């Protein structure tokens, strides 16, 4: 492609895909973002230059959406209604996914990438996910694939499984899309930032089900987990979520910092989140992992012409 790639994102969060495109050094124009969280919008403005920032995409006129070559959306997990449908057929209308589908239908990007929590695959016994795939494949102009990927399999030691759906427009496809191969993780210790502050754990943690994990000197632990649900906290950080202040850095005797949160999501040290610690942790916890979307976009853009 001789001109810059035209890119649009919905449910943009803090724009992990745009960070990934910068790292890929692909010339692009950031046509639009969309976000309803005012703190995410402030973070987008502080770090990126989209031509348009839409608010709620449920209230957006599709005619206002510019043409794009690449579309990315981390839409929320919503079950579809069966009201009024024969044989329990799911209806995506009235959901954020339906608005994503409208963008794909009307703008026909060369490539789209959709992301969601892995629970989307099994919600409603898998019927909602089946409806999503059927809706995308019914467009007939895309080769559509999906897979659950774990951040920890792609260089960054965080246990974070998410489902990705990739569509390549058939008339621009020069070779089939293939999912990235796993790569070794960097040591978890590399993600610890040395800080001169201490935040001791309350005494009751040492007599609770967490005591064994604490005594084993894991690096990061989620204080909200039970003794049966903590993962291999020596080598892999538990999943970072929007349930912010529960992540604790045992090796430093303090709660995890915002920079550590962002680093374990693949963001560079130069990235500037906007808002309080609480808002910043929520933004990082809701984001796509940059390292994963980086590899997906690298392969996807090599598949098109």
Q: Which of 16, 15, 42, 20 is nearest to 32 (CA)?
A: 15
Same domain, 218 and 159: no
Using CB atoms within 10 Å of the CB of residue 91, give its burial: 0 to 12 exposed, 13 to 18 middle, 19+ buried.
Answer: middle
Helices (H) and strands (E) counted in the chain, each on its own, are 8, 10
Are 73 and 9 in contact by the 8 Å Cβ rule? The answer is yes
Same domain, 204 and 59: no
Q: Is the pLDDT score of 89 beyond 90?
A: no
Same domain, 198 and 166: no
Which residue would you say has higher pLDDT here, 193 or 107? 107
Residue length, the chain? 305
Same domain, 42 and 154: yes
Q: Is the pLDDT score of 247 beyond 60?
A: yes
User: Is residue 77 flagged as an active site residue?
Assistant: yes
CATH number at residue 160: 3.40.50.150
Residue 242 pLDDT:
76
Q: Which of 36, 71, 73, 30 is nearest to 55 (CA)?
A: 36
Q: Torsion-angle region of residue 215: left (phi > 0), alpha (psi -120 to 50) or beta?
A: alpha
Residue 87 pLDDT:
47
Same domain, 154 and 25: yes
Which residue would you say has higher pLDDT here, 197 or 89? 197
Q: Is the pLDDT score of 102 beyond 60?
A: yes
Q: Which of 185, 183, 252 is nearest to 221 (CA)?
A: 252
Which residue would you say has higher pLDDT here, 88 or 15? 15
Same domain, 246 and 167: no
33-64: per-residue pLDDT in tens?
999 999 999 999 999 999 999 999 999 999 99
162-178: per-residue pLDDT in tens?
999 999 999 999 999 99
Q: Which two tokens stand for residue 236?
A: 């892999």
Same domain, 124 and 202: no
**CA dist., res. 288 & res. 282, Å (int):** 12
Catalytic hit among 11, 73, 77, 239: 77
How is the chain split among helix, strand and coil, in percent rounded to 5?
35, 20, 45
Number of structural domains found in the chain: 2
Same domain, 143 and 195: no
Same domain, 212 and 180: no
What average pLDDT does this structure show over 94-109? 94
Q: Is the pLDDT score of 130 beyond 80?
A: yes
The pLDDT mean for the chain works out to: 88
Same domain, 51 and 94: yes
Residue 170 pLDDT:
97
Same domain, 86 and 110: yes
Which residues form the domain of 145? 5-184+289-302
Same domain, 153 and 247: no
Distant-in-sequence, close-in-space partners of 123: CB < 8 Å, separation ≥ 6: 77, 79, 129
Residue 206 pLDDT:
65
Helix (H, G, I), strand (E, B) or coil at 270: coil
Q: Which pTM was predicted?
A: 0.90
């Amino acid at each position: 492609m001789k001109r810059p790639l035209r890119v649009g994102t919905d449910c943009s969060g803090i724009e992990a895909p745009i960070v990934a495109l910068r790292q890929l050094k692909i010339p692009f124009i950031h046509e639009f973002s969309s976000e309803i969280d005012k703190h995410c919008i402030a973070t987008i403005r502080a770090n990126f230059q989209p031509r348009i920032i839409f608010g709620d995409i449920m209230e957006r006129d599709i005619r206002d959406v510019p043409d794009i070559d690449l579309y990315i959306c981390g839409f929320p997990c919503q079950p579809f209604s069966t009201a009024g449908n024969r044989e329990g057929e799911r209806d995506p209308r009235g959901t954020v996914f339906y608005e994503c589908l409208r963008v794909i239908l009307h703008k026909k990007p060369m490539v789209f990438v959709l992301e969601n929590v892995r629970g989307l695959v099994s919600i409603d016994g898998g019927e909602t996910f089946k409806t999503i795939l059927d809706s995308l494949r019914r467009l007939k102009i895309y080769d559509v694939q999906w897979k659950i990927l774990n951040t920890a399999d792609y260089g960054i030691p965080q246990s974070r499984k998410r489902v990705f759906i990739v569509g390549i427009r058939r008339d621009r496809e020069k070779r089939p899309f293939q999912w990235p191969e796993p790569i070794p993780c960097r040591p978890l210790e590399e993600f610890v930032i040395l800080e001169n502050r201490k935040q001791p754990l309350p005494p009751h943690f040492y007599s609770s089900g967490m005591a064994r994990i604490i005594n084993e000197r894991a690096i990061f632990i989620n204080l909200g987990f039970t003794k049966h649900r903590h993962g291999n906290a020596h080598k892999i950080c538990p999943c970072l979520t929007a349930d912010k202040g529960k992540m604790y850095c045992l090796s430093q005797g303090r709660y995890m910092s915002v920079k550590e949160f962002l680093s374990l999501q693949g963001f560079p040290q130069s990235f500037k989140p906007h808002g309080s610690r609480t808002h910043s942790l929520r933004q990082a916890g809701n984001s796509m992992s940059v390292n994963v979307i980086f590899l997906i976009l690298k392969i996807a853009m090599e598949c098109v012409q």
